[in-house]
Copies of this chain bind each other. A is one copy, B any other.
Amino acid sequence: MATDSTKLSMAQALNQALRDAMTEDETVYVFGEDVGPLGGVFRITDGLTAEFGEDRCFDTPLAESGIVGMAVGMAMNGMRPVVEMQFDAFAYPAFEQIASHVAKTRNRTRGRVALPMVIRVPYAGGIGGVEHHCDSSEAYYAHTPGLTVVTPSTPADAYFLLREAIRSDDPVVFMEPKKLYWGKDEVDTSAPEPPIGRAVVRRPGTDATLIAYGPSVSTALEAAEIAQQEGRSLQVVDVRSLVPFDDATVCEAVRSTGRAVVVAEASGYASVASEIVARVTERCFHSLAAPVRRVTGFDIPFPPPKLERFQLPSVDRILDAVDDLQWEDQ
């Protein structure tokens, strides 16, 4: 296990997490499409087959329901499978297995059958991908009781969230923001923190709170930086764990500023962003000087590359929403 703090990209941090988990626990198995010799189309599983052998990290036939369904069986039988869905939209063929089995097996069996498994889903846009490669599909999973759903926004969180996800006795849908794969940052793998279920304040601020997760956190931080120059102090909360949700941290942040904007890339309708607005409003109503605003993707299929920038929450759009938080009167 690496113990030093090193600069790693999120892809490298995820690879390190898999490597460390496989070293520590021989019941951890990694499989999916192209995760073997190729190391995955994003190289997250790079070198694992070479290091741990073909049994521990292997390619499957091309069938996502098969991958998840087989993982269910292996998890029933003492393993901790970590499977990769190649892209967000290519996890949909596995939806029945995820909704009807992965999510429900513990409950169906009165707690007798646990499914300690992780489904890794590279998701969201920002990389100029063609259709079916850029969906923000987190709401489908977050709405499904029984699933833990997390999404990192930094290499360090990627490492620790994945380690904890693999250690969890519950199934975890692990959403990886593709556009953050290559950005490097400090990761001290020897300084663990338990991030599942815990939001984190990424930047303090006093005037309004930006609530973001995954691919939108960096945009929110940028917006906060610019707002600072314009004399407005924005707090940024990284939700990190969509299920369970950290009401305490998020609500404390919102109450401290009285104004909030939720930022998420997914289409807004019936989304995780809707949920955050709803629960923050329910819990912090009398602290709110303005309705909580959303900056989300439009309710359209993910656009072609040349138009994708209009779908992604932008710094300007976030700042516009902040401007809209009824600063004058009320």
Contact = CB atoms under 8 A, between A and B. Distances in A.
Interface of A: 65, 89, 92-93, 95-96, 99-100, 103-104, 107-108, 131-132, 135, 139-140, 142-143, 145-146, 243, 245, 266-267, 269-275, 277-279, 281-282, 285-286, 288, 290-294, 298-301, 330
Contacts of A282: 277, 291-294
A269 B148 CA distance: 13
A105 to B, nearest CB: 10
B275 A269 contact: yes
A205 to B, nearest CB: 22
Q: How many of these chains are in the complex? A: 2
A292 B279 CA distance: 10
Contacts of A274: 270, 274-275, 277-279
Contact of A96 (B92, B100, B103, B301): B92
Nearest to A267: B145
Given A270-B272, A291-B282, A131 B104 contact: yes
Given A277-B277, A281-B292, A286 B330 contact: yes
Given A269-B275, A271-B275, A275-B278, 10 more contacts: A89-B96, A92-B96, A140-B140, A243-B269, A270-B271, A278-B278, A278-B294, A281-B281, A282-B291, A285-B288
Contacts of A145: 267, 269, 298-301
A285 to B, nearest CB: 4
A23 B100 CA distance: 38
Contacts of A103: 301
5 contacts: A93-B95, A139-B270, A270-B272, A270-B275, A277-B282
